[in-house]
Structure 1
Amino acid sequence: MWRDFWTLSRLEQRCFFMVIVILVMVVLVLLMPNQMRYRETAALLLSLSDSTLTSTSEQPKSHVGAVLQRFNPNTVSIKQLEEMGLSRNAILNWKKYLEAGGCFRNITDVKRLYGIDTMFVARLADSMVFDVIPRKPWLPVAVGYSKGNDFEIDLNRVNAARLKSLGIDDAVADSVMKIRNTHWFKKTYTLGELKNIGVCVSDFFHNALAPRHARTSETNFVVEVNAADTSQLTLIKGIGPVLARRIVQFRRKLGGFYHLDQLLQVYGMPPTVVELAKPFLKVDNSLITPLNINQASLRRMKEHPLLGYYRAQAIVDLRQKNGPIRHLDDVMSLMVFADVDAQMYSHYFCLQ
């Protein structure tokens, strides 16, 4: 039993000790005399009741006796909200909502505010005056910031309908969408610049375009997944920095890739990305780093994606019964390896 205990991970060992400590404490409580147990429970309840009374007596009373004055939720100040007894987090969300272009038009809009107390809204409902203030039209993030009376527009993010609604010619908006299929814009443009482009749209953007995934469109561009680093993997369309790091981490744990379909085992890898990337990827089986199953510990083998705990335990039992494993077929003949590809496993495991 104890020999199997040391095969557990450190986290599993700690949890095991914690369970033992909890069980010992429960046994001690059960063995405690009844009078002592009741005395301890009564003392605990008294302390909890005293702390509850103390906390309720120390609650702020600013909103209890506050004078309810009529106010406009769209123009109310932070000081007024504090005097009314609104919590600090709710006040912060209130001001952020207004600064982002929001507007309270009725009592329902106030209730929808995150962190607002419904009792607070009900108490001040009769004091709220919803005189809606005319505000500037909201602009999406693609129309990011003002430049005088004009706006900078990121053509990589705005759609054709939004461009047309801003007064840009339909032909220019459609041309921008076609250009975005193969290129991305390296700079932003003001609304005035886009309105005065003229007929030659491609000539206007010529010096400010960069091709999208130019290298993956070349037929001679191929990445070897067992030798590529994260920077090379990100050249493949659909694989960003996060997926590239996960591929490298999984490859390190596995020892290497035997075929491209193993990429589907990478956490978060979409099947469509693998299918689109296959023409630009290749696998060299000679680069796989095999695991020596005669020397590897149970903890090391159970972390291998192709083994797991039960198969790793079966290998350890075989070593303890017959000594060092001499043929890989002896391992493949075990029941837990009945449904595996023996040829593929021969690339991942060695005996010396």
Structure 2
Amino acid sequence: MQFSRPHWIKEYFSFTKKERNATLLLAAAALLFSLLPSLFPFLVKDEIELTIDTAVQHKLAALQTIPADKSNADAGLYQPKESQFEKYRRQKNNAELFFFDPNKATAEEWKRLGVREKTIATILKYRSKGGRFYKPEDLKKIYGLRPDDVERLIPFVTLETTGKPENVFDNSTAANSSTTERKEFSKAVVEINSSDTADWKQLRGIGSGYAKRIVNFRNKLGGFISVEQVAETYGLPDSVFQQIKPQLKNNSAKVRKISINYSTVEELKAHPYIGFSVASAIVQYRKEHGNFSSVSDLQKIGAIDDKLYQKISPYLSAE
């Protein structure tokens, strides 16, 4: 018995003469392009001749060379001028912090502290006319001294208690009281998890600004696990932390914990150690695999490496 081929098969699987020719042409082109990289070395000349314009080359060399006898004014044509903002930022980054007496500090010492040259000139002029600093906050009166510099420098101001006019202190008892506070100030011991801003300000080098930052950072964390975490406070110089570290203690390891099974992305990312990407990864993993049986399950998430896990695990709970 012979079966005839259906008409639609012939229609879709038969080629006309033109179609066959086109198919062969495409196959030949594909073969040619596949062999082209191998044939390229035979098609290109071994040596390429380049024409060099020597006149242009000499001009370029002249532009790249700065004459040694140029004045400072001419040198400015060859390099971009540093903006005042960049200059201030560079000086601030190179600033040192050390205890100083604003009534005796030299211009070089002010410069080391990161104060601008114009402001240094203002301070020296103020002192030359009989002006004096009677308390650290008097730095705020100096025209041109930036507020962030004032906050940074006030904790390091040391002033002699002698020779101050009567209108600054009511009587000698006030001066003696100040001396007594200084002695207590240097011996203060602060419990890092229960102290308020007033307690922190008893430490040498800690003013109102730093005290508020430390307490705010502690509240956002949910408590300090160790004394070393105080050093992570934004803007707190390491020199200040190293100075107050012997006076810090941690009597409480209890911290406020965040539930990884019920917290939202917003709640998780509010923690200083957990950013948006990690918070999103935690919530997404929870949606796909269900609730976490323990905090250690976080190690299964690619966005959390071992170092980060050790840092955030004390602040998390799977309850």
Report the TM range for the smaller structure's normalisation: 0.3 to 0.5
The TM-score, its normalising length taken from structure 1, stands at 0.42
Which protein is bigger by CA-based radius of gyration?
Answer: 2
The TM-score, its normalising length taken from structure 2, stands at 0.46
- Structure number with the higher strand fraction is 1
